[in-house]
Amino acid sequence: MIEEALRLQVEEECLKIGCCVRCARRFTGDRVLDNYVKHTVESDATQADDEPPAKKAKGELCIFCFGVLAPGDIEDIAMKAVASLTEADYDDPVFTTTLSMPVCNLVRDKSIYVHLGRTVAGYTDQVKFLHLLPLKDIWKHLINGSIAKGSGKSADNGYNAELMVNVEMAYRGDRREMEVISKLRPELRGPVTRTTADSTLESSTEAALVRCLRLPPGPPVAPPTYQLSCLRNAIFVAGRYNKYSRTMSQTPWTVDGARRTESSLQERITDRLVQLTRSAGVRFSASGREDVDVRTLGRGRPFVAELTDPHVTLLTPKDLLELQREINAAHPEVRVRDLQLVTREQTAHLKSGEEDKTKSYTALVQSLSGPVSADKLYSLADHKELVISQQTPVRVLHRRPMATREKTIHWMKAEPISDTLFKLHLQTQAGTYIKEFVHGDLGRTEPNVGTLLGGTFDILALDVESIELDWPPAMPENDGDT
């Protein structure tokens, strides 16, 4: 704190130039948030003649906070926040608040600071190292209690809560007042952002500030308007899926705006999830993807659903198990397992080392060049760690850049069905194009089954048998109490 005599002088000067009582206190360098609550109440109730006037004339807006710290505005916004939270019915027990001020607030901050330095002797020396409290911290401290009381939730005065009440202040004079930034830094191009305004004000000399700023700032040209919104950070639900259909795509598939498939696997999994959590939207990602006509068997393919602005987040393992059963009962061609809540950080497992992972497949292969002996087919198993070279397949060239990649077939094993039909079991590096390895893709994949066996082959069906990703962890399939 600064010396008492100086503090009174600063407060008096601030009130004189048009600050409210709370902003006046802020410019004295007071960093004790509780003082801002107490201060106003005391001043309002027991104002003596020799104390600085605590209330500003009716209708006059504070030149620094534009009235956002005034008890009336605080209560008004708190009421709206409570109404908004009640209507949205978030199940989060904790919220936090954020206030976004117009950028010109930075200019006014600097301008009041410079003005005080020039009118109150010793101000700059004593306040320089105090770091004046950010306006939004004072606001947060004043408003959180009211919102907590009205909403029945508890307030987080830091920034750790997942549920946020965001208040954005708009001010008609903002752009006009920002012109000073271009005056201070004529070489600046493009729109003035908060960051450029801040760095410009901080790097300008006192002489330049005195020349360009209006000292002290004038009254606001119009009252501010507020926009209030609530937002809950996303939650992430991970799991694994099996796809038993050869006509379903993983993601909604449209060509020229028209749907190509009925409903995607993604929608079958996430529609119910979005409904249950009352989320605004969903982003689905999986460890790779299979073609429409490829099934995914075994323990399934790991996936993550990111649910944005969810209103229901307190999901127990039992809730998720129930949801899992619902999805599986509604869609026999889809099966999900291991549904669980994960953190944003954990979702990185899905993509990490994607190239190093191995995948196992079974392909149904037909010879187009006559019978092939069983012995010949068995000889395929002699190829271990076979490195093949694949150019981007013709069928995906419209969405993937042209490139040649080396991929490893770790092992393969043929299982004859007839003299022209066999199953090929194989384990490969992730990202290997299996269909192309079988039919050769007009020589774009070398070697391929055709060059290895001598002949022409086509693939009739393909199944993904397993994806070697040990995430997310397996979950019990029953409730534990049955």
Interface residues toward Zn ion, by CB under 5 A: 20, 23, 62, 64-65, 69
Q: Which is nearer to Zn ion, 63 or 305 (CB)?
A: 63
Min dist CB 60 to Zn ion, Å, is 11
Tell me if 315 sits within 8 A of 278, measured CB to CB: no
291 is catalytic: yes
Min dist CB 135 to Zn ion, Å, is 8
Min dist CB 184 to Zn ion, Å, is 24
Pick the catalytic residue: 291, 293, 319, 458? 291
Q: Which is nearer to Zn ion, 64 or 437 (CB)?
A: 64
Q: Which is nearer to Zn ion, 142 or 434 (CB)?
A: 142
Q: Which is nearer to Zn ion, 97 or 266 (CB)?
A: 97
d(CA 344, CA 233): 10
Min dist CB 199 to Zn ion, Å, is 25
Q: Which is nearer to Zn ion, 69 or 169 (CB)?
A: 69
**Which residues touch 220 (CB under 8 Å, ≥6 apart)?**
61, 63, 66, 171, 173
Q: Which is nearer to Zn ion, 65 or 197 (CB)?
A: 65
Q: Which residues are catalytic?
A: 291
